[in-house]
Amino acid sequence: MSLAKTGAKTKIAWSKVLFYACIVAIPVVQFAIFYVGVNINSIILAFQNWDGLTETYEFGFGNFVKVVTDLFTDPKLIVSMKNSLILFVVGVAVGSTLALLFSYYIYKKHFGYGFFKVVLFIPNVVSAVTLAIMLRYFTTEASKAIIGIELLTNPATKLPTFIFMSVMLSFGVQTLIFSGAMSGISESITEAAVLDGITPIKELILIDIPMIFPTISVFIVSSIAQIFLNQMNVFNMYGAGAPDINIYTIGYWMYTNVLGALSTEYPYYSAFGLVLTFITIPVAFLAKYLLDKCGPSVD
Amino acid sequence: MVQTKKKIQINSLAIASIIILIVYCACILIPIIWGMMTSVKNIDDFRNNVLGLPSFEFGWAFDNYPYVLNLFHADAVYEGRAFTVDLWGMLINTLMYVIGCSLIATVTPCLTAYVVAKFPNVFSKIIYGTVLVAMMIPIVGSYPSEIVMLKNLGLYNTMYGAWIQKANFLGMYFLVFHATFERLSGDYSEAAELDGANEFTVMFKIILPLVSNIFFTVFLIYFIQFWNDYQTPHLYFPAYPTIAYGSFYMSQLYMHGLETVPLRMTSCIIVVIPILILFIIFSERLMSNISMGGLKE
């Protein structure tokens, strides 16, 4: 009998209510303050406009108007938006495809799978700032010595190098979770398919991917939530002083600005965050709906 | 004929995968090996020999390590007063931040998931639904609001403020714990309850030991994550620089020769060593299968 069923069948006693309350009280209060409260405060902040002359706050839509105007006119923001979207598309298209291919390889325990598993996990163990600094100098000093080009400073290769590095460092855990999910697929299903003469590619596409699709779907939807938070390792490499706006992302722009902001500037950045949140929420829910509705069927 | 065709297809997918994997491994490992090699190079050696092993002429410059360790520091500001934190100070900050936050960030979803799995009432359903919805709702740019809230509550720039921030049940590991508790047999706890054990005894003495493996794995994952996290301390408690922040700070310094590539690499490797040792010891556990999504029936 499962734990849940046992609990459900147990007669509710006050001691159980007290126990339940003791366990959930702190997390619920924390949630109320640091999730609900922070986000409500974010909305309130976003409507406050700082008047430098009177040194008072006024309520209004001024910040939102400025944010929307800036999104279409500020060259930094236009580039940042473009880069964030490119990074997302490449991350999902290339990163998730490779993650699936690698997880299938690990799941099937092909040659050297243990070694590859360790290497895939390395970007999650070694700190992002350390790896980013190593890659920064490798793609300048070492690449100059090897191919005669500083990949990270050459205007033609700069952005692709950043995107390549970010994607490369991002999907290790995804691979391990996908392979973990694949290992939960009943052997009888794959054995029956193999007996029917299924090829490995067909097995991956027709059996494994549809079977673990709920997990894939979680990753795709959560990566939508990360579109405007991803800093593409720019802060890790250059701190707040990135030398070129062409490598900016919204995540980098936002973090560096808030870091050096005066408290009177917080309302503008809160409004900025809210506008992006309202752009992303429908996209995330639409993606979830489409993935649930149009995702591959096990049948 | 059919068998030959099948063999070729098996090989073609495996070969394609292994080629891409080798390229991937090269992209990850070569810069790390290059960084390690560079960290023991003399600067004059590095100028003429960017790629190779340290030359015989200059030898292996292991003294880069004590040199960087002596200089390893971060400048911080607290209530308008600037001060410097050395390596030992940062180590204490790191341990307080990493151990405290990892423990709290593991215990909170674990216990919440336990009661939600055990008592499937309306409130539990709300909590479970909240976790799912919060994972889907992308909150962008709540930093300013969080800073304001922390300042108002007197938690900004405090270590306990950092711990409290982590005491939430949201996120992937709630689902991992919930899935684990739902799969657990209720026989042991039922027997203990019949013997008169109360809920706390059942949870701490029977259930939690049964999930200690997954608990420790999640704790380790958080430990590594927080050890490497320098942006949270930088933003929310700048008076407590951690070693990861120190590494970032050192990477931006232009003094005492630290701007040279070999010394930059040395300071990177110093931060990586403890976590690599941890990874070597616990690699199997860290990479064990964590199930969270489920399979289609």
User: pLDDT below 50 — which residues of chain B?
Assistant: 1-9, 292-297
Element (DSSP H or E) covering residue A55: none
Residue B185's pLDDT is 80
Q: How many CB pairs under 8 A join A and B?
A: 337
Considering the domain B72-252, what is its CATH architecture? Orthogonal Bundle (1.10)
Residue A6's pLDDT is 55
Residue range(s) in chain A whose domain bears CATH number 1.10.3720.10: 64-294
Complex ipTM tops 0.90: no
Whole-Å CA distances, B236 to A206, A257, B143: 47, 14, 9
Residue range(s) in chain B whose domain bears CATH number 1.10.3720.10: 72-252
Please tell me what DSSP assigns to residue B185: B
Residue A298: pLDDT band with limits 50, 70, 90: low
Q: Which amino acid is at A40?
A: I
| pLDDT tens track for A155-179 | 899 999 999 999 888 877 788 788 8
Q: Taking CB atoms and an 8 Å cutoff, what residues of chain A touch B183?
A: 2
| pLDDT tens track for B51-87 | 888 988 888 999 999 999 988 888 887 777 888 998 8
Residue B294's pLDDT is 43
Q: Which of residues 29-88 of B touch A (CB under 8 A)?
A: 29-32, 34-35, 38, 50-51
Block residue for tokens 């707040």: A240
CB nearest to A27's CB, from B108, B137, B261: B108
Q: Taking CB atoms and an 8 Å cutoff, what residues of chain B touch A124?
A: 224
Q: Which CATH class is domain A64-294?
A: mainly alpha
Residue B2's pLDDT is 46
Task: Give the distance from residue A53's alpha carbon to the nearest chain B alpha carbon, in angstroms.
Answer: 23
| pLDDT tens track for A97-154 | 999 999 999 888 888 888 998 888 888 888 888 888 899 899 988 888 888 888 988 8
| pLDDT tens track for A7-37 | 555 555 788 889 999 999 999 999 999 999 9
| pLDDT tens track for A251-280 | 999 989 888 888 788 889 889 988 998 888
In terms of Cα–Cα distance, which of B79, B104, B70 is closest to B257? B70
Residue B31's pLDDT is 92
| pLDDT tens track for A74-88 | 999 999 999 999 999
Contact B145 A270 (CB under 8 A): yes
CB nearest to B271's CB, from A20, A130, A258: A130
Q: Taking CB atoms and an 8 Å cutoff, what residues of chain B touch A35?
A: 134, 168, 170
Q: Which of residues 78-137 of B touch A (CB under 8 A)?
A: 108, 111-112, 114-115, 117-120, 123, 127, 130, 134-137
Distance separating alpha carbons of residues A177 and A71, to the nearest angstrom:
36
Residue B188's pLDDT is 80
Residue of A nearest to B104 (CA): A27
Distance separating alpha carbons of residues A170 and A166, to the nearest angstrom:
6
Residue A9's pLDDT is 53
Residue A181's pLDDT is 84
Residue A194's pLDDT is 83
| pLDDT tens track for A200-251 | 888 888 888 998 888 888 888 888 888 888 889 899 888 888 888 999 999 9
By residue count, chain A amounts to 299
Distance separating alpha carbons of residues B153 and B160, to the nearest angstrom:
12
| C-beta separation of B111 from B218 below 8 A | no
Task: Give the distance from residue A234's alpha carbon to the nearest chain B alpha carbon, in angstroms.
Answer: 12
Residue A202's pLDDT is 87
